[in-house]
Structure 1
Amino acid sequence: MPRLTRDRITWLTYAQLGLWGFFLYGFGPVVPLLRDEQGTSAAVAGLHSTGIAVGALAGGALFAPVARRLGRGPAIWLGLGGVAAGVTALGLLHPLPATLAAVAVIATFGMMVVSGVSVVLTARHGPAAPAALTEANAACAGMGILAPLTIGATVDAGLGWRPLMAVEVGLITLVALAAVTLRVRVPQRAPAAAAAGAPVPVAASTRVPAVPASGVAEAAVSDPAVPAFGAADAAVPASAAPVAGASGRAVPVPGSEVPASGVRSGSGRLPRAYWIAWVLMSVTGSIEVCLSLWTADVLRTHAGLSAGGASAAVAAIVCGMFAGRIAGGRAALRWAPVPLLLGALTVSLAGFALFWSSTVGWLAVTGLVVLGLGNALHYPLAISIALAVAGPAADKAAGWSAYSMGVGFGIAPVALGWVADGVGPHPAFLLLPVFIAVAVLLTVRLGRALRPAALPA
């Protein structure tokens, strides 16, 4: 079983991702309040999610060139500085075009943080990267719990939602000061050997499952240390790609016989399995952002909660996600990602059913906690698989992953808002089990794409 060693750099990246989570999970309850403040429809208010999507696309495009020029660590700090500037503007501005632009700026720099943290943890922890990414996203959710509670408290106190933006800036400043004081620096580059074009050392394999017709089998997909930017063509040792044989033991397979889902030596192209994971991240991202933006509306109209209470209750989802990611970090060290992801999607569906069918506040909130437990593992497992199969192209893969979130954030909430304007937010939420069903199908397809190549006789 891989072992996760948490050093000071790991803890710093957890904190950096948590700062992004504080805004992301806090902004969802803000949208209905912005809609009331600006006097717009649900569909128009949902354009703020489109702003996040546009920013995600820009952040995905910017990350690789910025990190190539400045290094990964400085790119993450630049992202946090941009988030601080954006939330300051959002807190000061009121017109719809201005808030849309501010949200796009925040998301642009926020996605640079997400991409940077994902690549740094993948390079640093190798076979334990799924656990590290799950824990990082637990930190993200843990900080996200505080944001809806803060909004609920300030709204009930008559201060509105804008004090949340000042809290975000203060937290970013505190983490930056702590990093300087403790002299913790995120590595700017991958190992020097990779930068020089030498063969990239391949860490012990991470177990990525396949789903053959006869049941669930497991393939071990190598997770090489990520090369420096510009070194996408660094060679992967030909014999370093073990797969699970019929007996379940790892059997070395020559580089020429790595399955189509693997990354061939000297190629920066992303494999088919990556793109399936990419679509999966888009669909699961749609689930998460729709819940973040419109759950408070359903709690107000269907479960009878006040505006402040509904905003605070959104924290129930994030509480579930925090607990799920804490437990999921250990689970990811013991079980293969694809069956774990299928189980998480099943839990999400059960939680949604309880939430959607409840007309009593506490029961609906209980459903949100269960829903959060399932949602907890969607993104960490999908991104860990995507980066593992990308191999030497992990920097490029991390940048492209932001586009998948952009698609989910840009289309789904606006569609749900448009439907909600016609039939109400509660019936419109039936789009979510459709997303979950699609995610299940994609996960099964991903397992098949990761099936190991047939071993030579």
Structure 2
Amino acid sequence: MNTQLKSPFVRDRFTWLAYFMLAYFGYLQAVLGPVMPFLRDELALSYTVGGLHFSALALGMVMSGLVSDAAIRRWGRPAVFWGGGGGMALGAAIVVLGPHEAFTIFGAWVMGFLGTLLLTAIQSSLADHHGPNRAYALTEANAAASFSAGLAPLLVGGFALVHVSWRGALVAAVLAWGSALLFMRQEPVPPAKQNGVENDNPAGSAHRLPRVFWFYWVGLVLGVAAEWSFVAWGADFLVNARDLAKADASLIMTLFFVAMVTGRTSGSRLTHRYDAAQLMVFVIGLTMAGFLLFWLVPIPALSVVGLFIGGLGAANLFPFMLTISVSINPDLSDMASARVALGAGMAILLAPQTLGTVADQTGIETAYGLVPVILVVAAGVVLLANRLATSHNLPSEQPEQRAEVWSDR
């Protein structure tokens, strides 16, 4: 291991702003899961109709992932950064005020479409801003997102227990965005960089992503699908398969997000010592071990342990794949970030809705049998992508020990 200190990692004001805004995005993206038992009761929704909220969120992400890099080229990162955040707050407000599932589903779509504009701008800006340290920055940013996502079930369950209503959890997010706009609006958002990084791609690589990117992209889709199988239906599984009260199940889901924070914090350290591509198979295996314990052991306490272990593994499925993807050609960071968002949206579109539809026919416990299959295929795809990347001598994140600098600049 290289122990020479170089390229200090500086957490400046924009870095903290990006962390905060990704935490905001992660919170609103996760809040629909713990809200769903309450929303289903209030509006008398089936699993399938409840799943349409996740599908609408994901469809918005997919649609945005197709156009967000073009939006950045057209209007610039600052407008997309702040406008996307404001649009996500608008979608949350529609969910809060909607008297019918048509409104709440539309609100979820608005959150997905406009929120993904924000996500794309955050990811590419951090990658360009920190250059060789992008793995550390992106993993820390996703740790912040996991922390805030963990607050979602805590606040939803907490508000329900004190009879304030689950809606308070979404109102809190809208207020958080307003605070960021009020106090940080003047902070510059880094522009796109052209680094001139060379690789062994065929002619035309300056304008399109290489083949190996798409192999990793498939792995990312499968990884996010596994993660969202926990997020979307974990609370319902605990209610219906482990006989827990809805409020208790919502609060227990906080442990999954605690595990996500722990896993991503540890993952950010591991990227100093190991290449993210080398770590992917390990985290997939850890996710599988936790999920099998959560799913197969009919003892609530052990299910909770499995939920935590699964969260430790699932934590780094997305940030490691994101790091790999934007590192393949740094000149195309906005495009890579947009396609990563597209892939994540496709996973969120397909996985919760598929599980919800199967659960309507067989029960959520049987439907969860799809998740181990997803993880096995994901491991195979990542191994194939790693071999392809090595054979083509494509750029990768080379691990090295770096100094850390905490800054308020």
Alignment check: 8 A CA contact 1:274 1:390 kept: no
Tell me if 1:273 matches 2:276: no
Q: What's 1:23 paired with? A: 28
Name which one, 1 or 2, has greater alpha-carbon Rg: 1
| Partner SS, residue 99 of structure 2 | coil
Tell me if 1:185 matches 2:188: yes
Q: Which runs of 5+ in 1 are unaligned?
A: 195-199, 201-235, 242-257
Q: What's 1:121 paired with? A: 126
Q: What's 2:46 paired with? A: 41
Cα distance in structure 2, aligned partners of 1:268 and 1:391: 12
Counterparts of residues 225-244 of structure 1 (less than 5 Å):
236=196, 241=198
Tell me if 1:326 matches 2:329: no
Tell me if 1:342 matches 2:345: no
Q: What's 2:375 paired with? A: 436
Alignment check: 8 A CA contact 1:32 1:293 kept: no
Identify the range of structure 1 (59-68 vs 430-439) with the bigger mean alpha-carbon deviation: 59-68
Q: What's 2:155 paired with? A: 150
Identity %: 31
Alignment check: 8 A CA contact 1:51 1:104 kept: yes
* Alpha carbons of structure 1 residues 61 and 266: separation in structure 2 relative to 1, 3 Å: closer
Alignment check: 8 A CA contact 2:242 2:299 kept: yes
Q: Which runs of 5+ in 2 are unaligned?
A: 394-409
* Alpha carbons of structure 1 residues 315 and 393: separation in structure 2 relative to 1, 3 Å: same
Deviation at 1:33, TM superposition (A): 2.3
Deviation at 1:16, TM superposition (A): 0.6
Alignment check: 8 A CA contact 2:280 2:317 kept: yes
One of 82, 85, 91 as aligned partner of 1:80: 85
Deviation at 1:115, TM superposition (A): 0.8
| Partner SS, residue 334 of structure 1 | coil
Deviation at 1:69, TM superposition (A): 2.9
Alignment check: 8 A CA contact 1:32 1:294 kept: no
What is the one-letter code of the residue matched to 2:29?
Answer: L
Alignment check: 8 A CA contact 1:303 1:358 kept: no
Alignment check: 8 A CA contact 1:25 1:318 kept: no
Cα distance in structure 1, aligned partners of 2:49 and 2:299: 29
One of 293, 306, 322 as aligned partner of 1:383: 322
Q: CA deviation digits over 1:227-280, x for unaligned, max 9?
A: xxxxxxxxx3xxx65xxxxxxxxxxxxxxxx444xx767621110111111111
One of 18, 26, 37 as aligned partner of 1:13: 18
Identify the range of structure 1 (270-279 vs 67-76) with the bigger mean alpha-carbon deviation: 67-76
Cα distance in structure 1, aligned partners of 2:160 and 2:370: 29
One of 426, 430, 434 as aligned partner of 2:365: 426
Deviation at 1:153, TM superposition (A): 1.1
| Partner SS, residue 390 of structure 2 | coil
* Alpha carbons of structure 1 residues 403 and 93: separation in structure 2 relative to 1, 3 Å: same
Higher RCO, 1 vs 2 (CA within 8 Å, ≥6 residues apart): 2
Q: CA deviation digits over 1:29-81, x for unaligned, max 9?
A: 11232222222221221111110121102222332232223321221111110
Q: What's 1:59 paired with? A: 64
Deviation at 1:4, TM superposition (A): 2.4
Alignment check: 8 A CA contact 1:268 1:392 kept: no
Counterparts of residues 294-313 of structure 1 (less than 5 Å):
294-313=233-252
Counterparts of residues 377-416 of structure 1 (less than 5 Å):
377-416=316-355
Q: What's 2:399 paired with? A: none
TM-score by length of 1: 0.81
Identify the range of structure 1 (406-415 vs 373-382) with the bigger mean alpha-carbon deviation: 406-415
What is the one-letter code of the residue matched to 1:184?
Answer: E
Alignment check: 8 A CA contact 1:325 1:376 kept: yes
Q: CA deviation digits over 1:123-157, x for unaligned, max 9?
A: 01112111111000000001111111011111222
| Partner SS, residue 192 of structure 2 | coil
Deviation at 1:370, TM superposition (A): 0.9
Q: What's 1:207 paired with? A: none
RMSD of equivalent CA atoms: 1.9
Q: Which has the higher helix share?
A: 2
Cα distance in structure 1, aligned partners of 2:330 and 2:10: 21
Cα distance in structure 2, aligned partners of 1:103 and 1:299: 24
One of 365, 371, 383 as aligned partner of 2:304: 365
What is the aligned residue count? 389
